[in-house]
Structure 1
Amino acid sequence: MSSLTPRGGGRVRQNNEALILAAAEETFAEYGYKGASMGLIAQRAGLPKANLHYYFGSKLALYKTVLGQILVLWKNSLDSFSSTDEPGEALARYIRDELDFAWRNPIASKVFAMEVISGGACLQAMLNDGFADWFAGRAAVFSAWTAAGKMAEVDPLPLTFLLWSSTRQYAEFAAQIGAIFQPRRPEGQGLDAIGANLTAIILKGCGVKAVRARQRLANPSQFSSNLAATGARLRME
């Protein structure tokens, strides 16, 4: 299921946009922006190519819509904690939520990764639009935790990259992770165990006391098989 949402309008428009966005997300993840075409997206969506141009205008406009929604999802996840939170609970919750999102929406992470690999021209333009101010606000949360003695002095920039990359690894490199986990499927290597290990490593590096997880992630026992299936599907399509 796609993580993207239609932009509004009547029911027919919303249904068609949902089909187009889901198809575009998968196509851009597989081929990148340059390799994808409106014809491929239309075929995958089961709609005439004219519908894509009617709703989104051009391939570039459609791509920017897909990438923009993915970026908003990423920013929203980092907006989920504040300086008044306890860092141990906030970071553990963030890691759990991001792993859960990566498991549910591996295609979105692949679109983002393909954009970065291809040079990130569209992404750079989006990040230049107020991103520095937004990131400064996120960095201020880490600084406040440090000032309050709740966390060691850690550079917010590499910490943010670490939080992002360590959780997205399981979606963006699904074929690799699935190949390692799937043949053996060792007990305890579900999503809960992965989240607990990542949390312990990151909290220890930040000088934060670990907290007990308050909730389980969705279907952890199926994590490795979903990763393998996602990687295989993208290679075969």
Structure 2
Amino acid sequence: MKDGEKSGGKAGGKPRAQPAVKRSRIQTRNRKRILDAALEVFSAHGFRGATLDQIAAEAGLSKPNILYYFDGKEAIHVTLLNQLMETWLDPLEQMNPEGEPLEEIIAYVRRKLDMAQAYPRESRLFANEILQGAPRMGPHLEKRLKPLVDEKAALIAGWAAAGRIAPVDPRHLIFSIWATTQHYADFEAQVNVLMPDPESGGGVFPGAATYLETMFRRMLKV
């Protein structure tokens, strides 16, 4: 029996309800524990460099216990990527067609930078998957990311055509926002060495926010 996952015995010929509730709580707790540990390991070592032994050690669970909840390393990785996709799309989905174009784009830059600060491990997990050719995330890119980028690129192109922002290739603009904001998470070790910021409790992010906002405003202002 693993972590109280199984409980025998019946009362009056019927399964007891309480153990089922307890099993659900244990499963939820342990799955979260495993996924958090896996996020740490995958973001540090990538999919190929990570092992179930490393995940088990990080989670403080045995390898057989890990395999009780997930079929293997790939199943854990895919679960993390599926959870991440929804989080990753949200900042772009919030771009409002009815808003002021320049302010909507700048707000998107801020949200992406906030995500880089709050979720550096998730950013590196995503980057590692893309660098490997998106073998596990390819369907999500086609079904979820591409339609959203098509929609927002058309919106930005419409703003530019109407003279509400300066002429710009909308997809290259989106790529530039991704590159400049996620750099602070994906290359965090390099950034911290090259640009220490002891005067700010937020590290380099306040300065990055000011710089990126100024850069994109100058580029897009009519």
Give TM-score scaled by structure 1 length: 0.76
- Report the Cα distance in structure 1 between the residues aligned to 2:205 and 2:166, rounded to whole angstroms: 27
- Report the Cα distance in structure 2 between the residues aligned to 1:189 and 1:15, rounded to whole angstroms: 32
- Report the Cα distance in structure 1 between the residues aligned to 2:68 and 2:159, rounded to whole angstroms: 49
- Counterpart check, 1:113 vs 2:127: yes
Match of 2:24 in 1: 10
- Report the Cα distance in structure 1 between the residues aligned to 2:208 and 2:146, rounded to whole angstroms: 31
**Could you tell me how far 1:130 is from its partner in structure 2?**
4.3
- Report the Cα distance in structure 2 between the residues aligned to 1:194 and 1:113, rounded to whole angstroms: 20
Deviations 1:173-219 (A, max 9, x none): 0111100222x6367974222112101111221235xxxxxxxxxxx
More moved, 111-120 vs 73-82: 111-120
Does structure 1 retain, via aligned residues, the 8 Å contact 2:56–2:63? yes
Match of 1:83 in 2: 97
Q: Which runs of 5+ in 1 are unaligned?
A: 1-8, 209-237
Match of 1:125 in 2: 139
Match of 1:185 in 2: 198
- Report the Cα distance in structure 2 between the residues aligned to 1:131 and 1:101, rounded to whole angstroms: 17
Query: Per the alignment, do residues 101 and 133 of structure 1 end up closer, same or farther by CA in structure 2, a change over 3 Å counting?
Result: closer
Give TM-score scaled by structure 2 length: 0.80
Q: RMSD in angstroms over aligned alpha carbons?
A: 2.2
Aligned residue runs from structure 1 range 135-146, under 5 A: 135-146=149-160
The partner residue of 1:155 within 162, 169, 180 is 169
**Could you tell me how far 1:41 is from its partner in structure 2?**
0.5
- Report the Cα distance in structure 2 between the residues aligned to 1:86 and 1:14, rounded to whole angstroms: 43
- Counterpart check, 1:92 vs 2:138: no
Q: Which amino acid aligns with 2:55?
A: I
Deviations 1:39-68 (A, max 9, x none): 211110112223322323221111111122
Match of 1:167 in 2: 181
Query: Per the alignment, do residues 127 and 140 of structure 1 end up closer, same or farther by CA in structure 2, a change over 3 Å counting?
Result: same
Percent of aligned pairs with the same residue? 33
- Report the Cα distance in structure 1 between the residues aligned to 2:151 and 2:94, rounded to whole angstroms: 12
What secondary structure is seen at the aligned counterpart in 2 of 1:185?
Answer: coil
Q: Which amino acid aligns with 1:71?
A: M
- Report the Cα distance in structure 1 between the residues aligned to 2:204 and 2:140, rounded to whole angstroms: 35
Does structure 1 retain, via aligned residues, the 8 Å contact 2:195–2:204? no
Q: Which amino acid aligns with 1:137?
A: E
Aligned residue runs from structure 1 range 19-98, under 5 A: 19-98=33-112
